[in-house]
Chains A and B, each alone.
Chain A
Amino acid sequence: MENDNFIIQMKGISKVYPNGIAANRNVDFFVKEGEIHALMGENGAGKSTLMKILFGLEQPTEGEIIINGEEVSLTSPSDAISRGIGMVHQHFMLIPSLTVAENIVLGMAPIKKGILIDYKKAVQITEEVSQKYNLNVNPNAKVMDIPVGMKQKVEILKALVRGANILILDEPTAVLTTQETSELFKELIILKQLGYTIIFISHKLNEIKQITDRLTIMRGGKSMGVYETASTSEQEISRLMVGRDVILNVEKDKSQPTETVLKVRNLEYTNKWNKKMLDFLSFSVRQGEILGIAGVEGNGQRELVEMLFNLNTPDSGTITVNGVNIINLPQDKIRDNRVSLIPEDRMTYGIADAASIEENVISDRYTEKHFNNGPLFDMKMIHKESDKLIKNYAILCKSRKQQVKMLSGGNIQKVVVARELSSDPILIIADQPTRGIDVGSTEFIRNKLVHLSRAGAAVLLVSADLNEVMELSDSLIVLYGGKVVAYFDDTSALDDTVMGEYMLGLKHQSPEEIERVCHE
């Protein structure tokens, strides 16, 4: 194994977390200079942990790390940064109340006249790097107001600005649309040609095949070996990861939609930068169907979802669920109307990170009669409920008492999905439901959505993953500029190119064709 070619050598790495979970067990991980190296494995396999060790965020319990032929001990991220390592985390590490430019220069801020941060300089730096690497961001927007896709770019820029030549990208594409992903891939190829080394984590096999040179597979905290990407088939990879063959094609019979559940009419919303995000948006979702929303991020999807759950208020228009107006309705009342939401931003809305799994899965139902015994909780029933959900949704954890923040990213998502899909909903708003979830569990969740819709729920699916929308939806609409520009009542005959043209606003259907989505 002594090869000067290896820029990173992690040998015999073991990691035991303070709660006793052994996340890495004697893992060897070698990366060649200038390659794109994939790190793969199921949720909770220990990928993020290994990368946090490489970035100095976690200390290994055992093992050594050699970078550029030199044995190092990385006790903090600044150690790692000074050795040219940059990391884009699975969950954003940005400060929401600061602007994009401030976030990018954070900790290395250009100082003017002693103490004041030179904001103009920060904006200038941001514009320069964003042009240089062709990652477009708005330097003056506050991070809390920008969509996740842009947050991802800000994270990458942050690492590049700090002079990283080894980039760790922990599931960077989970939040990107297909177009953004291919854009990112172009950039990564350029970076690779410039001599950058990239470690790339993703659950999407096609992406791995497309862009990486070699791959390391992890399972249950152990390494399952290193493979040349070109000579390993997708099937082999998933077998190594999961231990069985995974069929990602969802099996679904033809939908037989009945009653209209969700009715959105003439929804209008202008955001605080005076940009019209929703422009007389109208559509309906019926019982028994999955309606997909396709579109490039930032075309109103986020605003629409917020309004469907009263997390934001439209300027005008109506939203009804089974005839009940839900605009301005408190969330408990919305949930009483059997609406559930898998939110896009799981760390903000989906969970309380310092609370246990149990406390997280009951957050929408803790007031129900059978969980309460007079003034006290009926702990037996609550334990039963959470154990059931942990089992049914295969949440990898030590016990129901484990804090959610100590779960792996994919398992956090499963906690959210478990709660939202188990509340007997009549309308499910699924915003990126399989984000960050491994192939096996993705299969499971997609089947669950199909099953629920066939059993009579209306499902509104928003996903940045075009494949997911096209495969999973029975019918779909394309959003562009806050408007429906196309409606397809049958998704089986669609192809990417046509979709692309609608999504980029190059084409749109006639008003009559679009109106069909209102089913009136």
Chain B
Amino acid sequence: MSNRRMLVFNILRGAAAIFLALGVGFIFIVLSSDEPLNALRYLLIGPVFRIRDGVLSFNTTSFQTILAAMIPTIFTGLAVCVMFSASQFNLAGEGAVMLGGFVGALCAIYLNIPGWIHPVVCVLIGAAVSGLIMLIPALLKVKLGASELVTSLMLNYIIMFIVLHFLNYYFADRSKGATQTFSFQPTAQIPALIEGSSKLSWGFIVALIFVVIVALFMYRTKWGYAIRMIGINQPFSKYSGMKVGATIILSQVIGGILSGMGGSIEVLGRYNTYLWRELPGYGWTGITIAILAKNNPIFIPFAALFIAYLDKGCQLMSTYSDVPSEMIDIIQAAIFLFFAAEQFLAKYRQKIVVKNSRLEMENNNLSQEGRNA
């Protein structure tokens, strides 16, 4: 009874946060646009509705595009969940995505394996290499005490330039105008989930499966348990007999594996050649998503959907209205801020709780009286 009320409250709280944030966003839109309602329309309903001649219709392709955009960010969000749960502020998810994508792409070009198995092998190898690369910040932290924040941030750029080096000097297809690799073998492509231009591949299903796997891992296995306990109190974990160093390393490697997997699935599901020439940004988005989801894997797809929707809306708004793109960053930041604020609406929450426990007390009294009588 009380639990259901809290759940309703939490949902309402989320909705209220969005409305408040949009309110703030709207103020900025009014300030910077001559046609604010039009701009707002693109932001809010543009991503999934088409308006033609005043008739509103569901835009299936656009909706599928949003789902497709969630594929890499669900993976990076999960990766950040695992790494941050151990209280390790590892930012190398970004580089791991790029590396996983590149390695996956090379396997897609140079390995000869039958269809269906081919992409699986590519993704596994990409994920493994990205997992291994995470050993660098993890070992530096555990063995030498070097801040993982700094080393992982640096690592991103090292990975980027190494990938570019190999791309430029060894793997580029000179016959193409731009610096790209040769084309993937057709067997290596991740098939589309729904045929069409949305690029929604089977990767989406895989991502959702991994949400469940990671949630189980974090809350239902001894390894996830140790990761979380170490994140809360390291001396306690050591005293309890947990292998602190090894567990920290494990959490970072898993973060790398998930990021790399996201990178290679994205590359094999969306393109037929490798063409990232800079960090793709999914790692950063993953951090935002993990924070929105409060490090809980189950909430990751919702947070990813929210961000993807917002991105799409902002993109439409900047294309079809006169709102400048800087303003769009402000609006995104405002929405994020309201969502992340823990204390937000705490007062109202308190009121519900008080009411609940009053009821409970009264019930107790009643039942006691009943017993006494």
Contacts and interface: CB of A to CB of B under 8 A. Distances in A.
Interface residues of A, number: 36
A377 B239 contact: no
A331 interface: yes
A331 B240 contact: yes
Interface string A330-348: 1111110000010100001
Contacts, number: 83
Interface stretch (A128-136, A317-325, A360-368, A488-496): A360-368
Nearest to A309: B239
Given A348-B235, A379-B220, A22 B361 contact: yes
Contacts of B346: 18
A21 B357 contact: yes
A330 B243 CA distance: 8
Contact of A332 (B216, B236, B242, B354): B242
B238 A19 contact: no
A377 B353 contact: no
A19 B2 CA distance: 11
Contacts of A92: none
Nearest to B225: A366
A376 interface: yes
B218 to A, nearest CB: 11
Contacts of A363: 229, 236-237, 240-242
Contacts of B240: 331, 363-364
Interface string B206-233: 0000000000100011100110110011
A461 B321 CA distance: 75
Given A331-B241, A363-B237, A364-B240, A352 B229 contact: yes
Given A330-B241, A331-B241, A352 B350 contact: no
A124 interface: no
A59 B346 CA distance: 13
Contacts of B34: none
B220 A376 contact: yes
Contact of B243 (A311, A332, A341): A332
Contact of A375 (B221, B233, B241): B221
A354 B349 CA distance: 20
A416 to B, nearest CB: 10
B356 interface: yes
A287 to B, nearest CB: 23
A341 B226 CA distance: 20
A82 interface: no
B360 interface: yes
Contacts of A359: 225, 228-229
B225 A16 contact: no
A270 B355 CA distance: 58
A331 B349 contact: no
Contacts of A16: 350, 353-354, 357-358
Given A21-B357, A376-B221, A379-B220, A353 B241 contact: no
A350 interface: yes
Contacts of B225: 359, 366, 377
Contacts of A377: 220-222, 225
B101 to A, nearest CB: 29
Given A22-B361, A330-B243, A332-B243, A353 B220 contact: no
A75 B353 CA distance: 20
A372 interface: yes
Contacts of B360: 20
A61 interface: yes
A333 B238 CA distance: 12
Interface string B305-341: 0000000000000000000000000000000000000
Contacts of B241: 330-335, 363-364
A137 interface: no
Interface string B338-369: 00000000100110011011101100000000
Contact of B232 (A19, A353, A364): A353
A61 B357 CA distance: 12
B215 to A, nearest CB: 12
A320 B240 CA distance: 20
Contacts of B237: 352, 363
Contacts of A349: 235-236, 239
Interface string B1-25: 0100000000000000000000000
Contacts of A331: 238-241
Contacts of B238: 311, 331
A19 B353 contact: yes
A351 interface: yes
Contact of A311 (B229, B232, B239, B350): B239
A355 interface: yes
A139 B223 CA distance: 43
A343 B356 CA distance: 38
Contacts of B226: 366
B232 A18 contact: no
A18 B220 contact: no
Interface string A353-394: 111000100011011000010011101000000000000000
Interface string A227-267: 00000000000000000000000000000000000000000
A354 B236 contact: no
Nearest to B232: A352
Given A332-B241, A364-B241, A377-B220, A348 B357 contact: no
Nearest to A419: B240
Nearest to B357: A20
Interface string A419-441: 00000000000000000000000
B248 to A, nearest CB: 15
A352 B349 CA distance: 26
A18 B216 contact: no
A355 B232 contact: yes
Contacts of A354: 232
B310 to A, nearest CB: 30
Nearest to B356: A20
Contacts of B354: 16, 61
A352 B233 contact: yes
B346 to A, nearest CB: 8
Contact of B353 (A18, A343, A350, A355): A18
A181 B301 CA distance: 57
Residue of B228, B229, B239, B242 with highest tally of chain A CB at under 10 A:
B239
A402 B330 CA distance: 38
A142 to B, nearest CB: 16
A167 to B, nearest CB: 30
Residue of A334, A348, A359, A366 with highest tally of chain B CB at under 10 A:
A366
A355 B361 contact: no
A21 B353 CA distance: 9
A19 B225 CA distance: 23
A117 B80 CA distance: 38
A341 B235 CA distance: 14
Contacts of A366: 222, 225-226
Contacts of A350: 236
Interface string B62-77: 0000000000000000
A20 B221 contact: no
Nearest to B355: A16
Interface in A17-54: 17-22
Interface string B227-261: 01100110111111111000000000000000000
For the complex of A and B, 4 pairs with smallest distance between CB atoms: A332-B241, A363-B240, A352-B232, A352-B233
Given A350-B236, A351-B236, A367-B222, 6 more contacts: A18-B350, A21-B357, A352-B237, A354-B232, A366-B225, A366-B226
7 contacts: A18-B350, A20-B2, A334-B241, A343-B239, A355-B229, A363-B241, A376-B216
